[in-house]
A and B are shown apart, each in its own frame.
Chain A
Amino acid sequence: MFKKILIANRGEIAVRIIRACKELGITSASMYSEVDKYSLHTRLAEESYFIGESLPSESYLNQNKIIELAKEINADAIHPGYGFLSENASFIKKVEESGIVFIGPSSRSVEMMGSKTAARDLMKRNGVPIVPGTTEKIVSLESAKQNAFEIGYPILLKASSGGGGKGMKRVYAEDELEAAFSSAQREALKAFGDDSVYIEKLIEHPKHIEVQIIADKFGNYCHLFERECSVQRRHQKVIEEAPSSFIDDKTRQRLTTAAINAAKACGYYNAGTIEFLVDSKKNFFFLEMNTRLQVEHPVTEFISGIDLVKEQIKIASGERLSFVQDDLRILGHAIECRIYAEDPENNFLPITGTVEYHRLPSGPNIRIDRGIETGSEISRFYDPLLSKISVMEKRRSDAIKRMDIALNDYLIAGIKTNITFLKRILQNKKFQSGEYSINLIEEDFPADNSGNEKDFHNEDLENVAAIFSAYLKQQPQNHKVINVVCAANRWTDLQYE
């Protein structure tokens, strides 16, 4: 087993990995950028090292610095978390060549799945159904027009090396294509350093359902059932659950078999996720493979009872899977809500600021993954994900109830979040029935929030808000508010204004 692991990430996922290291008796080493000097992940690790300025390209994306650091501190392995360098095949290759173990799949598997177009081609050859569209990247507007015409509108432009909705544009007619094409290319270049895009037929009203797989280096493959992640805004997941209430045993059998075939096709080991679009007739199409740990892995850990991060580390160190497929059963229904610093009434624009107060919900089968606490600075440099709440109950309806209460108990001051928005989704009839598609937010929650306020009118709470704000207004305004300006360096040089 490893002695020391360098965690090449930040925020809640770095914290999650540090915990797994501690439980396995491995020394955890975290890295921090300028603004993260006193972040939670920096303080929780047994060792922490400065990696660079706050811009991701100077720090968490700086491949050579990270590898040098790992060598310098004698780390046996690097855990990339999700995002940043987790799916960067050239980084993984460099890690492999340096003699340090990468906690994840081989660079070869990542390369095979990293290009969306190559992956689609590979799946097609291995009998995994794919969404109709191009299997090659589109370089010119002319060729985009031609392909879009052949596939038939509506279409979806996607970044070949993409993920997380970046570089993805929906196009309903040819006159929208030019603007969408250049925007998709720009976003793709910025986010992934590669401006190639491809075209897929837009499957209307699909569900997003993905299968968690895990494999060791001895060719043992298992799946840990599916997750439904259809609640998305701007192609980013907001609420995830496991299992999917839409999938029956027979479909589950076919879906998980396809997922394992997909993983075998690229000689995969470690944890990975195969994403599918599922249409209303339960036909499923391969979307992409995420060759890393997912943000929403807690729901799978809940329903399977397997600690995915510990399993990842053991596999990377050369151990066999600690279980076989027949050991696994679905233990309940789990839901995760992602708490973002963002403004749902303003097109989900990210919000920056300081978390002035933070109180987390608690209770049976409520799990929190977080990278922040009171005093944390939410900067514009990184993803605005603050924390994740996951709950489990025997039945889905009870899990929804538990989550709703947990959201009520979540207190956070100084920064606006999507908490109220999440509650409204939980109360949505389509969501509750399970009959919803990836268009749920777009269809039922218009951007200007018109009409929503009436549906959720709560007289008691409005009275509370009214008394509170009126009371504060009446208070003498001359008391001096002390704000900690420099939260990044709280212990040594506090500054007051």
Chain B
Amino acid sequence: MSLTRKLLPPVASGFLFGMGLTVSGMTDPQRVRGFLDLFGNWDPTLAFVMGGAVLVMAAAWRIQARMTKPVFGEKFALPDRTDLDPRLIAGAALFGIGWGIAGLCPGPAVASLVLSPVHAIPFVAAMLAGMLLQKVTMERKVAS
């Protein structure tokens, strides 16, 4: 696969993603925490962001169902698990606690590396450390 085919979709996707996060105010932790402040001064903006994104993606999934392979790739590589396990729920709960504390999830944190580097750098460094810690402590060893 040529470098252009390898890079064009992810770079364009990342660029649009960063635009969307910034336009919608999701790079502002106060706005995100405002959405989570359901019992206080609730700010519903994030619901509009999710709504808009899910709307477009729902259409994209319908198109995907009629395709045999992606436009710039050989095959689709998509998650196929359907079972619910304790790991999924415990992981999502830990993520939610961190999200509530700082008002940052991975996308806005990466966008903030250029918008507010002084705050985003320690957060992203800690996030990568947390990812590594999870791998070291929990990853199932696969026999090879």
Q: Do A and B come from one complex?
A: no
Give the B-binding residues of A (Cβ under 8 A). Answer: none
Q: Which residues of B contact A (CB under 8 A)?
A: none
